Chains A and B, each alone.
Chain A
Amino acid sequence: MAVLQMQRISICALKKNRKAILEKLQALGVMEINHIIDDGDEDFQKMDTTNARMSFDKAAASADKAVELLQVYAPVKQSMLASLAGKELVDEDRYRQVIDRKEELQRVVSRIQTLDKEKAEQKAEILKLTNSIESLTPWLTLGVPMNYKGTAHTDMLLGVMPAGVSLEEVYSVLAERVPDTGGVDAHIISADQDSTYVAVFCMRREVAQVEEALRGRGFAKPSQIWDKVPSQAVDNMRREIAEREDKITQIEQDVVSLNVNKEDLCLLADYYRVRADKYAVLGQIPQSGRTFVISGYVPKKYVPRVEKLAKQYDCVLDIEEVKEDEEAPVLLQNNGFASGAEGVLAAFGLPGKGEIDPTSIMAVFYVFLFGMMLSDAAYGAIVSIACGVLLIKFPRMGDGMKKAFQLFFWCGLSTLFWGILFGGYFGDAVNVISRVFLGHEVGIKALWFAPLDDPMKLLVFSMLFGVIHLFTGLGLKGYMCLRDKKYMDFLCDVVLWYALLCGLLIMLIPSELFASIAQMEIVFPPFVNTLGKALAIIGAVGIVLMSGRSSKNFGLRIALGAYDLYNVSGWLSDVLSYSRLLALGLATGVIASVINQMGSMGGKSVGGVILFIAVFIFGHLFNLAINLLGAYVHTNRLQFVEFFGKFYEGGGREFNPFKANTKYADVKEETKL
């Protein structure tokens, strides 16, 4: 349970070692670069590395693109869980080899991209040809080229007329409009549902009149003309398509043959990415004629590593504590159990300046409350086993993912624990199966009690756990006050509240209201009752007097105090909020028994058993999923709203070290520092 202490390290070294130092720092990955030198400083200038950085970014992007294309041409099947596998680990030797071959690989990258472009061009051509064939199809039976010029005295008119035009109609239109023609010969080449394709032969001198006459009936010249006999033209085009298709196959084969380079290209892309990052940092560091300065935050426990690194070069190393007015970045460190909950804390906000890291305490409550909400032994076992298997199977999965699975592994165990206490194993599956299929009902008895039989008891316990959770939160606030030596705050904001709330609780427990809820009567000895009253009065009076102590005006101070006392209602609603522990636990159990009941409706027969198995698997998967979601959301809520509301604000900035930010693989560090 700790926020790692940060120190500022500044290294001033000679420019000739600049590259080496930066690379080592990047490989180390423990320093967040943060400069405090003003831009206006005359002795130091910043280097403009924008161009270099951009060219590396571009190179990385095109290598990425090439890798994507390879995946398209030669797909490698990825299972659904592949995204959990995380980055590969490669030897430094292998990485060096790739860097040595970078020109060659660069050529492979551009070759892949060129090939892909060619393929796209070929495809476009094929599309064009296919369209041409389509528009030529109606003219296929025409035995002359479409631009046939006719004989010495005759000419040909090709055109499209509306659908349903018959040969007689063409002739009658012509007879009507051009009565004194020297002779016309019309042919219908083909007809489809939209148009009729006609060829009309007429005397050369009458072409204009004939065309005019036909136009009156909707005649129009074809939009595209080929200078070949249509059937021949189509044959040619088909041949060309086949050729281009062959070419595409060839291109595809070529690309696939480059697939051997895929891993190397991944590493190349990573290499360029890392270099781009390095140049981005290089652009930030102040440099003088011969020297440069690099400064930033390093967690205290990693400082010796940086020192050791720096000792290899001629340089000045300066270590100082983070100043009061600086806001250092936050890096959390927790043990194996609690680190799982770091993700949950980060979702709310990392500890701000002067706040403690509540992760380990929160993790305990998180697991406890989560298990109570899901509260089914079988579900818990499933969750735990699934998370455990995934954690073992994918040891290199991403950090955030790993933490989440760790957390849910423990949550699953807690669910198992609560399930055994409450006697839930797939709801009442044992009872239903034994009753319907085996004839006599057996059941596993709840170790503690079954919530369905005695909901009020669980309600009381839910609120009790709530009170413990909230009091812990208040206690943490007290701890922070004491640590910062704010004794007055500790007394007024923490001790008085404890007094008031404990007093109220002691007064509530022997009352009739509590007895009717808990169905048991608790009688305290009289002096305890008096003590409760006294505590409540001391607390209430103290809060009224002291809460507004920052205000000089006495009237205002009392008013503020009275307003703060009103927060008792906030405490009440916070405690009532824990009734969701009961409600969500019931939800799991009741829905599970609905599923079992539905499954058993087929009765004791072969069909009934099949129905039961099907309903059982799907139904419980559904119930598990929906209740996992519910438990997750509401456990978060209890932590974020009720628990954190008592002491924690968050708002810290995440530690973001200068490191090798790779996408595909991590390089195994050979030179351990």
Chain B
Amino acid sequence: MSQLGIVYALLGAATAVFLSGAGSALGVGIAGQAASGVMSEDPSKFAKVLIMQLLPGTQGLYGLIIGFVTLSKIGLLGGGVADVSVQTGLLILAACLPIGIVGLISGKSQGKTAAAAIGIIAKKPDQFGKAMLFPAMVETYAILALLISFLAVSAIQI
């Protein structure tokens, strides 16, 4: 039975990484299309639109953080694998869900917002500071999910 615990825990780490990574990939992709459109008209805006495109990329990193913390918690990274009971494994899986799911959805939404903000830069490049705020608003929720996932994973005793 105890073997299944570690499977659940690893599933949690995987969920955190692949869902939020997928969200970021979608978001960065959407923003990248808009950025390419602007670039084709005005290559001098490269730096600004690149920053905008990067904004939805953070969800993937947040997922990576949770994945990494989980892996090191269950001892899969060097050293012996911890003895994880089924209950603990499921706890870890549950703890990983917030960043996974919120990362997926917010990554995509943030990508759309970033694409719209790239539209602002195309027309009013001097409004860069404010344009950047709109995607950052979406990111707040990814950060909150990261916090809860992180606090939950680090609170689980093994």
Contacts and interface: CB of A to CB of B under 8 A. Distances in A.
A630 B133 CA distance: 12
A422 to B, nearest CB: 15
Contacts of A459: 147, 151
Contacts of B147: 459, 579, 582-583
Interface stretch (A45-53, A215-223, A586-594): A586-594
Interface stretch (B6-14, B35-43, B81-89, B138-146): B138-146
Q: Is the interface of B mostly helix, strand, loop or mixed?
A: helix
Interface string B47-63: 00001001101100110
A590 B55 CA distance: 19
A633 B130 contact: no
A583 B150 contact: yes
A591 B64 contact: yes
B65 interface: yes
B144 A579 contact: yes
B58 A455 contact: no
Given A455-B150, A591-B65, A626-B54, A633 B136 contact: yes
Contacts, number: 75
B150 A586 contact: yes
Contacts of B57: 626
A583 B143 contact: yes
A580 interface: yes
Nearest to A633: B136
B133 A637 contact: yes
A373 B140 CA distance: 14
Contact of B69 (A347, A348, A590): A590
Nearest to B154: A455
A626 B154 CA distance: 24
A85 interface: no
Contacts of A597: 68, 77
Contacts of A640: 129-130, 133
Contact of B151 (A347, A456, A637): A456
Given A583-B143, A586-B150, A597-B77, A626 B61 contact: yes
B129 A577 contact: no
A636 interface: yes
A397 interface: no
B129 A587 contact: no
Q: Which bucket holds chain A's interface residue count?
A: 20 to 34
Given A455-B151, A579-B147, A591-B61, A636 B54 contact: no
Contacts of A594: 64-65, 68
Contacts of B150: 455, 583, 586
Interface string A627-647: 001100110110011000000
A583 B69 CA distance: 13
B128 interface: yes
Contacts of A630: 58
B133 A641 contact: yes
Contacts of B51: 629
B64 A633 contact: no
Contacts of B136: 633-634, 636-637
A455 B154 CA distance: 9
A597 B71 CA distance: 12
A620 to B, nearest CB: 14
A633 B132 contact: yes
A582 B133 CA distance: 20
B142 to A, nearest CB: 9
Contacts of B68: 590, 593-594, 597
Interface in A418-462: 452, 455-456, 459
Contact of A344 (B65, B69, B129, B140): B129
Given A455-B154, A583-B150, A347 B129 contact: yes
Interface string A646-671: 00000000000000000000000000
Interface in B18-35: none
23 contacts: A348-B130, A452-B154, A455-B150, A455-B154, A456-B151, A459-B147, A577-B140, A579-B144, A580-B140, A583-B143, A583-B150, A587-B61, A587-B65, A587-B146, A590-B65, A633-B55, A634-B139, A636-B129, A636-B136, A637-B136, A637-B140, A640-B133, A641-B137
Given A455-B150, A633-B136, A634-B139, 7 more contacts: A347-B130, A586-B65, A591-B61, A591-B65, A594-B64, A637-B133, A637-B137
4 smallest CB-CB distances across A and B, nearest first, come from A347-B129, A590-B65, A583-B143, A637-B136
